[in-house]
C-alpha cells in the first residue's frame, strides 16, 4: 500500500466525535511510550503528524488519521504505568474500552510491544481481549533498532514459547529505521480490503 494522503481528522473523546463516514478503522494499541505515535508517523511518512513524546501518556484521545481517503488509523491512548494488581479495564479507561468493544468500523488492531521488554501482564490481558473480540490483530515489536538481530530473534522465540501468545504473528518494527514498514502496510491493506486472515487461523502477517 502506498501512502498518497494522510491527515489528522479529530481527537475523539467519545464515540459521538468519531467520523461517521463508515470507512474501515485500524487501531494501534499498546503501553504508554511503546511507540504508537512514532509508528504511525513512520507508516505515513510524516515526521510530526502524530504527537510523540518521551513523557508517557501523551495521547489521551482516540486520534483519527484519514489515510488515502480509504481508511482511518486510530492512535489509542496508551495503557500501563500502574503497579500491582490493577486490571486492564481500569487502566484503559472507558473511552478505549468502549471503542474496542463496540466500534463497528474497527476492522483490525495492531498491538505494539517493546522489542526489548516483551509482553507485560497488561499486554497479555490486552491480547486476550483482542482474541475475544475476534478481529484480526498483529503483534508488532517496536524499537527493534535497539536490539541486535540475534537478541530480536531470541525475544521472538521467548514470546512464541509463551502459551498465551504461541499462535500469534510477530513483526519487528522500527520507527527509526523503517524496518517492518512495508510488511505492516501490506497487512493493513489486506485486513482493510477483506483479505485478512482472522487471528485464530494464525499467520496474520
Ligand atoms: N529508538 C527508537 N525509539 C523510538 C521508536 N519508536 C518510538 N521511539 C521513542 O519512544 C518514545 C515514545 O514514543 P511515542 O511514539 O510517543 O510513544 P506512544 O506509544 O505514542 O506513547 P503514548 O502516546 O504516551 O502512549 C519517544 O521518545 C520516541 O522517539 C523506535 O522504533 N526506535
Ligand atoms: Mg502517542
What would the pLDDT profile of 48-93 be if each residue is shown by its tens digit? 888 776 765 556 789 999 999 999 999 998 887 655 556 666 666 7
The domain made up of 6-201 is a member of CATH 3.40.50.1980? no
Q: Please state the atom number of ligand 1 nearest to the C-alpha of residue 51.
A: 16
Measured CA to CA, the distance from residue 205 to residue 166 in angstroms comes to 14
Closest C-alpha to ligand 1, atom 26 = 54
Q: Please state the atom number of ligand 1 nearest to the C-alpha of residue 173.
A: 31
Helices (H), 14-120: 36-44, 88-102
Q: What is the pLDDT of residue 200?
A: 41
Read off the pLDDT of each residue in 117-138 and give the average, rounded to a whole number: 90
Q: Please state the atom number of ligand 1 nearest to the C-alpha of residue 78.
A: 25
Contact yes or no for 9/65 (Cβ under 8 A): yes
More confident residue, 95 or 20: 20
What confidence tier does 21 reach under pLDDT thresholds 50, 70, 90? Answer: very high
Q: What is the pLDDT of residue 52?
A: 74
- Show the ligand 1 pocket: residues with CB < 6 angstroms: 30, 32-38, 52-54, 56-59, 78, 142-143, 145-146, 174-176
State percent of the chain over pLDDT 70.
85
| Ligand 2 center from residue 134 Cα (angstroms) | 25
Ligand 1 pocket mutation, candidates 126, 175, 180, 184, criterion most atoms within 8 A of CB: 175
Which DSSP letter does residue 194 get? T
Q: What is the pLDDT of residue 38?
A: 94
Q: Please state the atom number of ligand 1 nearest to the C-alpha of residue 52.
A: 16
Q: Name the packing angle between helices 36-44 and 181-192 (round to 10°).
A: 90
Instruction: Look at residues 204, 131, 177, 157 and name the one whose alpha carbon lies nearest to residue 35.
Output: 177
Ligand 1 pocket mutation, candidates 31, 32, 38, criterion most atoms within 8 A of CB: 38
Amino acid at each position: 500500500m502506498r501512502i498518497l494522503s494522510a491527515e489528522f481528522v479529530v481527537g475523539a473523546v467519545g464515540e459521538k466525535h468519531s467520523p461517521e463516514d463508515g470507512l474501515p478503522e485500524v487501531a494501534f494499541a499498546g503501553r504508554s511510550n511503546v511507540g504508537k505515535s512514532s509508528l504511525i508517523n513512520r507508516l505515513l511518512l510524516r515526521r510530526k503528524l502524530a504527537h510523540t513524546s518521551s513523557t508517557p501518556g501523551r495521547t489521551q484521545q482516540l486520534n483519527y488519521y484519514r489515510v488515502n481517503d480509504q481508511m482511518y488509523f486510530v492512535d489509542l491512548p496508551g495503557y500501563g504505568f500502574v503497579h500491582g494488581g490493577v486490571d486492564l479495564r481500569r487502566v484503559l479507561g472507558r473511552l478505549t474500552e468502549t471503542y474496542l468493544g463496540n466500534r463497528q468500523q474497527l476492522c483490525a488492531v495492531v498491538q505494539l510491544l517493546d522489542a526489548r521488554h516483551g509482553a507485560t501482564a497488561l499486554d497479555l490481558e490486552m491480547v486476550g481481549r483482542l482474541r475475544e473480540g475476534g478481529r484480526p490483530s498483529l503483534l508488532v515489536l517496536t524499537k527493534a533498532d535497539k536490539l541486535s538481530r540475534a537478541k530480536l530473534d531470541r525475544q521472538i522465540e521467548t514470546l512464541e514459547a509463551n502459551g498465551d501468545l504461541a499462535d500469534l504473528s510477530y513483526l519487528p518494527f522500527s520507527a527509526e529505521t523503517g524496518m517492518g514498514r512495508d510488511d505492516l502496510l501490506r497487512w493493513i491493506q489486506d485486513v482493510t480490503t477483506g483479505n485478512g486472515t482472522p487471528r485464530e487461523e494464525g499467520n496474520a502477517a
